A and B are shown apart, each in its own frame.
Chain A
Amino acid sequence: MICPATCGVRKRQIGMRLSRLRNAGLSLFACPALVLANATNGQEAESHARVELIAEEYTPHTGKPVWVGLVFHLDRGWHIYWQNPGDSGEPPKVQWELPPGWRAGAIRWPTPVKLGSGSVVDYGYESQVLLMAPIERAAATSNLLTSVEADVRYLVCQEICIPGKAHVTLTFPAAGVTPKRAPGRRSLFEQTRGQLPKPLPAGWKVSVTQQNDHLLLSVRASSQIRGATFFPLEAGQIENSAPQGFIMTKAGFRLALRMSDQLARPISALNGVLVLDSGRAFELTAPVISRR
């Protein structure tokens, strides 16, 4: 195991793999942040993904939600999937195990990238991604948040796909113990927050009309936008592989999204993430008005 000398931590990891050596560039993240935070990890040898459970703060006794996250370290050329995987694949599934009185909030999914070309297009992540979620007090409990465990099932694909499983554990230091902190962790959470889609800027307005087999997504923007891509949250609404026709309008821009040929039911609302050519990403939700 490659670990920077400065880390100087004892670590306990089950199922370490030789292929991890290939991830030397990621070794900073592979070291637990703290002496008292151990990540236990039982994973298969040729999974091409390594899952790690980390916390943003190792002082969970302040009463505030504690942000934890699953870091997926992916071998070069391999990917996992967004909450809507697109045409193939499936998103990671996480089962949290928490002390009584605590609950996990929803995973915050960073903006994905389009994967694949041609007639099959997916949405997901390559290289490395942090899927973060808040752990909150669910009830008036005096239980301390001593540990967080997660059962993770995921599909990792290059050309071939391999299902993976991981059970990861995070142990928090006892109250009163000052945790030593290694660099890199907080910044990973901060960096990931920067990749989460934001609410639409004030003053922007979205409308969606259906015209024949297209949804026309019109956006009134407060600045000039030169390109945009829409990522649908719901699978099976639009043709993922169809080009999205972008045109600038007086007030902003319009995107033409081809509806899926295999639409199982009419689309009453469009939900998803709008990514501008600048890389900024926004959450979008709008009712669909039918204009035939």
Chain B
Amino acid sequence: MRRKTVTSRSASISIAMTLFVFLFVGLSAGNATRVGDRAPDFTATDSNGRVHKLSEYQDKFVVLEWTNRGCPYTQKHYNSGNMQRLQREWTSRGVIWLTVISSAPGKQGYVKAAEENAYVKQVNAAPTAVLLDPTGVLGHLYNAKTTPHMFIIDAKGILIYNGAIDDRPTTDVADVNGARNYLSLALEEATSGKPVSTPTTRPYGCSVKYPD
């Protein structure tokens, strides 16, 4: 409700102000951006020390993937090679894939940059970058709840998917094959100019380990 008011007001003010308001609302109210809304801009540092801004990826599709390597739901998709396969397929098709780690220092799943780079190599992951979000600011901005939790932002900066990676909310590797992969489905549709048929699902997994 509060968000709606802010959104309509922001339409009449400058873009910079809009981004500020989105950021502010996202942080203060914990309201997630809804599918169809402009995705809030963010600045975050990756595991190689590079700073990424969402707005620098205008004209590209962007995937945000919340991850936690100790979580069995995440492990299902990495041990099976499913996540790496999706990362390779979609980045090769021009999609920016940002993996995000929002575990706080001292919390399960927190990693330092060097550890994460070693892990990426070890599991042969292929995201565009891994964003380190130990303060949880980015996680709260998108209201990421679980690992995995997937978001897709289209080339116009609109959030077009928010939810689960697929329709099998289990930890069983055997469930990867035959699952309906919502992420791929949405990307296939959106990149061929079609509306996303399933834009919102309930994400499943372990809770994101935000700071207390």
Chain A positions near chain B (C-beta within 8 angstroms): 87-90, 116-120, 122, 155, 157, 159-163, 212-214, 235-236, 241, 261-264
Contact = CB atoms under 8 A, between A and B. Distances in A.
Nearest to A90: B169
B108 A159 contact: yes
Contact of B145 (A88, A117, A212, A214): A88
Contact of A161 (B107, B163, B206): B206
Given A155-B171, A160-B108, A118 B210 contact: yes
Contacts of A162: 72
18 contacts: A87-B146, A87-B207, A90-B204, A116-B207, A117-B212, A119-B143, A119-B210, A120-B208, A120-B210, A155-B171, A157-B207, A163-B72, A261-B32, A261-B34, A262-B202, A264-B200, A264-B201, A264-B202
Interface residues of chain B: helix, strand, loop or mixed (majority)? loop
Given A87-B146, A163-B171, A263 B30 contact: no
B77 interface: no
Contacts of B163: 262, 264
Interface string B129-166: 00000000000100101100000000000000011000
Interface residues of B, number: 34
Nearest to B35: A262
Contacts of A117: 212
A235 B163 CA distance: 13
Nearest to A212: B1
A172 B145 CA distance: 45
Contacts of A236: 202
Interface residues of chain A: helix, strand, loop or mixed (majority)? loop
A90 to B, nearest CB: 6
Contact of B209 (A122, A159, A212): A159
Interface string B163-195: 100000111100000000000000000000000
B66 to A, nearest CB: 11
A89 to B, nearest CB: 7
Given A155-B72, A241-B30, A262-B202, A120 B145 contact: yes
Contacts of B32: 261-262
Nearest to A88: B207
Interface string B29-56: 0111010000000000000000000000
A236 B163 CA distance: 11
Contacts of B208: 119-120
B127 interface: no
B207 A120 contact: yes
Given A88-B146, A119-B145, A262 B200 contact: yes
Given A155-B171, A213-B1, A87 B206 contact: no
A212 to B, nearest CB: 5
B193 to A, nearest CB: 23
